[in-house]
Amino acid sequence: MNAPAPVIAFAGSHIDRADQVRNDPAALKALMTWRARLLRMNGLDPVLTPEGTLDWGSLADAALDSELVFLGLDGDRGCFAEVRASYPLAGPQAGPGSWSALSALEAGELASYGGARSLVAWHSRHRFCAVCGSPTGLAKGGWQRTCSSGTCGAEHFPRVDPVTIMLVEHEGRILLGRQPRFPEGRFSALAGFLEPGETIEEAVAREVFEEAGVRVRDVTYVASQPWPFPSSLMIGCHAFADDPAITIDKTELDDARWFSREDIVDALEAVARGEMGRAFGAPPKTAIAHILLRWWVERG
């Protein structure tokens, strides 16, 4: 397979994050002019133009009681997203509009939307202090919320949840699993959240053993992907197993199997045609699991 490496979905925003502006109230205020851009969103889903691009309005489109989150700079124009006073109608997980955006938006725009979605979702769920329960207010252009209590004043910052996702190899085959929510026949890389006190390597080993009963070694990093549903960082890894015996945790997986290089090549070629492979259905091109499988095949 000699196809160019796929673009990582939700990475590569064209917006300059401009961290130096976040801490400068005067600079932020100066950007809030008629030239500023406001990302239109329906709850947490993007609003698209008829041409299939992100729909940007002006700050005049924001509700009077909304908070404005500074996304960064587009040239010399400020880019903002709106945090409405009421919670978004959509939950933090992906809705139909978010899934549609994956196929409609150019890579840089998809990344801009993904970052905005994660930030707005976080604000909508952190209106009250986790320490004392008092209301919180937006600070640093939306990259912080501060407790309003004079006796508390705790500072809260947007969170990103790290997730390991890994290819496990044994004698030229790769271990893949399927969760109950997957479409029929779809298999993907095993994955799981890092826990407090763990390294990435330890999390890979623990998750693979918990889900499939396989011990792994020689964990290496391959690639990462922001995943804004609601706000994760997928950390793609590769590891080796010495014993291929599988013991499936049925609370986590419906099935787990070893697939040959031929199986994986066929599945990747099939998904490019919108079809299922002979042995299994590969993850979509927008998923880092697809990128990991392609990486493994192309490295030979």
Residue boundaries of the structural domains of the chain: 1-125, 126-158, 161-299
> In this predicted structure, what is the pLDDT of residue 92?
63
Cβ(266)–Cβ(248) below 8 Å: no
Say if domain 161-299 classifies as CATH 3.30.420.40. no
CA 197, distance to chain mean position in Å, is 22
Q: What is the pLDDT of residue 88?
A: 54
Nearest C-alpha neighbor of 4 from the set 300, 272, 296, 294: 294
**DSSP strands (E only) in 28-97:** 37-39, 41-42, 45-46, 56-57, 67-74, 77-83
The whole-model pTM stands at: 0.93
Phi, psi (rounded to 5 degrees) for 42: -105, 95
CA 123 vs CA 20, 32, 171: distances in Å: 21, 20, 47
pLDDT at 5: 54
- Looking at residue 1, its pLDDT comes to 42
How distant is the alpha carbon of residue 188 from its chain centre?
16
- 143/206 Cα distance (integer angstroms): 33
* Cβ–Cβ < 8 Å for 200, 235: yes
- The pLDDT profile of the chain, 300 residues, written as one tens digit per residue, is 445 556 899 999 999 999 999 999 999 999 999 999 999 998 899 999 999 999 999 999 999 999 999 999 999 999 999 999 876 544 566 777 788 888 899 999 999 999 999 999 999 999 999 999 999 999 999 999 999 999 999 999 999 999 999 999 999 999 999 999 999 999 999 999 999 999 999 999 999 999 999 999 999 999 999 999 989 999 999 999 999 999 999 999 999 999 999 999 999 999 999 999 999 999 999 999 999 999 999 997
CA distance 288 to 8: 7
